[in-house]
Every structure is written in C-alpha cells, then in structure tokens.
Chain A
Amino acid sequence: MEPDKIKELIENGMSAEHVKVDGDGSHFEAIIVSNEFEGKSLIQRHQVVYKALGDAMKDDIHALSMKTYTPEQWQGMSN
C-alpha cells in the first residue's frame, strides 16, 4: 500500500486538519492533527484512526506508528 492511499483513507474516515504519511509499503509513520482527539487518551486517539483505516489495517498495513495532536497541540509545536 502507498502512503498517499493511507492519507486518503484517514482524511475520508475522520475529520483531520493535517495528515502526513511516510512509509516503505508495509511500515508507515503518520502525523495527524484533528479536533476529534480533544479530551481523548493516546489509545482512544489511535482507535479513531484505526477505525478510519478499517480493513486496510488487517491486510495491508503491518505497522503504523502515529503521532496524534489536537489543533492546539500542533499549534504549540510549530511556533
């Protein structure tokens, strides 16, 4: 699977302000900024993304490392 396809799945499956995905075909790293993460633990945040990815997680993606931020956290990171 290609990183762009994963980015598309995430963007279609949840509301995200910023999605960046890199990877080598089976191991991927993603940075996702979404207000859906508000008040959620790390596990809950990752489960939102896994839900958006659906079956792709079962078959095509062996490993997805994620950094999940709310818009405020992302703002704080970039300045």
Chain B
Amino acid sequence: MSQDIQETIKKQIGDNKIILFMKGNKQAPQCGFSAQIVQMLNSYDVPYETVDVLLDPEIRQGIKDFSNWPTIPQLYVGGEFIGGCDICTEMFQNGQLEPLVKSAAG
C-alpha cells in the first residue's frame, strides 16, 4: 500500500470523530451491508462522515490493509476501528454501539 494512501486514510480517520468507509454514500448506499450501518448511524441522529470507496480503488484496498480487515463497510469511531456490518449489528442490538457513537459525537 503506497505511503500517501496510508497517510490519507490516517488523516481521514483522525479528522472525523465518526467515519464510515462504505460503498456509495448516505443518500445512496450501493451495498446492503453499507446501508445497514448508515441506518444504524441515522437512528442515533449524530453527524458522521462517509467515504465512498467505489470512487477510489486505492482507498478501497488501502483501508483493508490499514485495518487488516478484508471487507467493506468499515466503521471508525474516535479514531478506532469498530468493525464491519456484522460486528456493528451485534453491538447495535446489544446496546454497545449507541453510547460509543454518541460520546464520540460529543
């Protein structure tokens, strides 16, 4: 993975309290799993940033290398990798996701 992609990703994650690397965007998710996390975040009514990995193949691969996680979407809160759709759904259902997201949103 090229150095500057890693820097770009690190900056995006550092500059945004809540950021979702997804396929598509909030208004038009392009994959069911990305749409699921968008719905969960929308239910909390907090501001969050998204990155459409479909627009940049280098980011699409770079984020997988960055987190050592092979799939998209990937949610980052407070600079930390939280998980993909599977883990976020589990945390959404067991009530762990809401306090994490809301405290990061401030």
Contacts and interface: CB of A to CB of B under 8 A. Distances in A.
**Do the two chains bind?**
yes
B71 A47 contact: no
B90 A47 contact: no
Interface in A11-59: 42-43, 46-47, 50, 57-58
Interface stretch (B3-11, B14-22, B48-56, B81-89): B81-89
Contact of A42 (B68, B70, B87): B87
A47 B33 contact: no
B69 interface: yes
B68 A46 contact: no
A1 interface: no
Contacts, number: 28
B81 A43 contact: yes
B90 A57 contact: no
Contacts of A66: 86
Interface residues of B, number: 14
Contact of B71 (A42, A43, A63): A63
Contacts of B70: 50, 57-58
A57 B71 CA distance: 8
B83 A47 contact: no
Contacts of B82: 43
A66 B84 CA distance: 11
Contacts of A65: 86
A47 B69 contact: yes
A43 B83 contact: yes
A6 B54 CA distance: 27
Given A42-B87, A50-B69, A65-B86, 5 more contacts: A42-B91, A47-B69, A50-B70, A57-B70, A63-B33
Interface of B: 33, 68-71, 81-87, 90-91
